[in-house]
Structure formats: structure tokens, C-alpha cells
Amino acid sequence: MADLDDLRDGKDFGLDKPARNKSFYLKGSDNLDWGLKKRLGRIFRPSTGRTVMLAFDHGFIMGPTSGLERIDLNIVPIAQYADCLMACRGSMRSMLPPELDKPLCLRADAGSTILTELNHNCVIDMEDAVRLDASAIAVMVGIGDAATEASTVANLYNAVDKGNRFGIPVLGVTAVGKNMVRDAKYFSLAARVCAENGAHVVKTYYCDGFEQVTAACPVPIVIAGGKKLPELEALELAYKAIDQGAAGVDMGRNVFQSESPAAMIQAVSGVVHNGLKPAAALELYRDLKH
């Protein structure tokens, strides 16, 4: 119980100042609960409203792919340059030092590998995300895949229910199957379906007409880096996506398979947060590389 001695009445109530009613800086997030906003604020810089996510969750599908043979050697040294880390719970527990002060986006679904087609992925228990102190979880959605669309949309829907209960945002990841067209019509549909089913953020791919995709999606979009590109092309990809409304990038192979991963992620950050044009970002990459 508080000490009752020397109680003092309040004096300064700021009667000449109206109560502050500040909106949240992320698209579509004003009405979210405080905990959801707090975690999103770890991922997206308040100063820019954008994020550079470092993805190294590839192992759950690809195994020890090039650049991810050793997470402790390939990823931990460059994690400091990312705003958020996208990883699976196994690598988080076994290879990421707990003192690494970076928000984590937990890859939360599993069930497919490069040896199979998309299938009926399961989603981890939300309590495990809490145990890992995840700032968000990522769930794949197979829009347009007749065999998996219904089950993966249900996975997302249920994950959002549980995420809202625990205050953990859900990132809807649009999967691209072999028969799906990579165009603005498809990605607008897939991103909107994720958002309409409650995803707080959507991860999708850049395409021609990308401004249509971002305009039609009521929550922030982060683009996937995709396959390894020459450094200038990857920086151009990031620049065009941000210029056309993306709130960030989630790059993996274009960073950890670069000749200088540390230099590359800093160059990408220069594009996303500092507005560097691709040529200037490439120059930064070369300077940091040497």
C-alpha cells in the first residue's frame, strides 16, 4: 500500500491543452489493440513507417541452402543491420543469441518442402510464439491453389483470432504456385484476401502495376525479395516497391547470397529508410564491401 503521509493534491491539469488523440502511423492500424501496435512498432520504424526484414526461414522448405549453411556464421553477424528477423522457431532457439535485440517475425506454418507441392500446412501454437517473444507471426496463404486455398485461408483466419487474443500481429504471406500468374490482378486479389481475413501486414511480390496492389490493400505491404538478383537489380526492386507504396522489404537470398551480405543489407536499408536511388545505394554497397 502506498505511503499516506504527505499526500499532495494535484495542481497542473493542463486545462489549457486539449487531450492528445494521435493516430497510429501504420496504414490500417488505428483501431488495433495497444499490444498489437506496440509489436508492430518494433518492426516498422516510427521515423519512416518502413521496415527492412531479414528473411532466413528458407530452411523449413529448402534445407541448408546456399548462404544458410550455418545461421550462426551467416546470419548472426549481419542481424544488427535489419529492423526485423524472419525465422523459424528451430533456428531461433538453437542459433540466435537471446541477447540479440531485434524483433522476431516467426514463420508459423509448416508442411511443405521443395520436394512436394503446396499442401495442408499446420500452424504452430500461439503460446509458443509468446514463449519466443515474437513480435509477429507469418502464415502462408495459397490463393488460387484449389487443393490448399481453403485450408490455408482457414489457417490465417484462426491465427488472427489467436494473435488478437495474445496481442501478436499476423503477417499473411501470399504463396505463388506454378500455375499462378505474377501480375497486379492476382497479387491485388491475394493481398486483399489476406487483409480481409484479418492479416495485420501482407507479404507479397513486386509486379508491374504494383501501385494498384498497394492501393487496394488496407494494411501495410512488405515485398518478398525472391530469387537472387544482381545487386543493382535487387536495389532497383526495393526502390520501385517503396516508391509504389510498399512499407518495406523482406529480403533473404538477395542479402545472404550476396558477395558482401553486411554491405548489401545496409544498402537496402539506405533505399528503404533514406530514399537512396538504386545507383547511390549500389555505390554505398561497393564502399561498404571494400
So which residues are the catalytic ones? 203
Phi-psi region of 259 (alpha: psi -120 to 50; beta: other; left: phi over 0): alpha
DSSP letters spanning 98-117: TT----EEEE-EE---TTS-
What are the C-alpha distances in Å from 119 to residues 39, 154, 156, 232? 30, 13, 14, 35
Q: What are phi and psi for residue 13, nearest 5 degrees?
A: -100, 5
Residue 5: count of CB within 10 angstroms of its CB: 5
How many angstroms separate the CA atoms of 51 and 216, rounded? 20
Residue 6 exposed, middle or buried by CB count within 10 Å (0-12, 13-18, 19+) = exposed
**CA-to-CA distance for 168 and 39, rounded, in angstroms?**
7
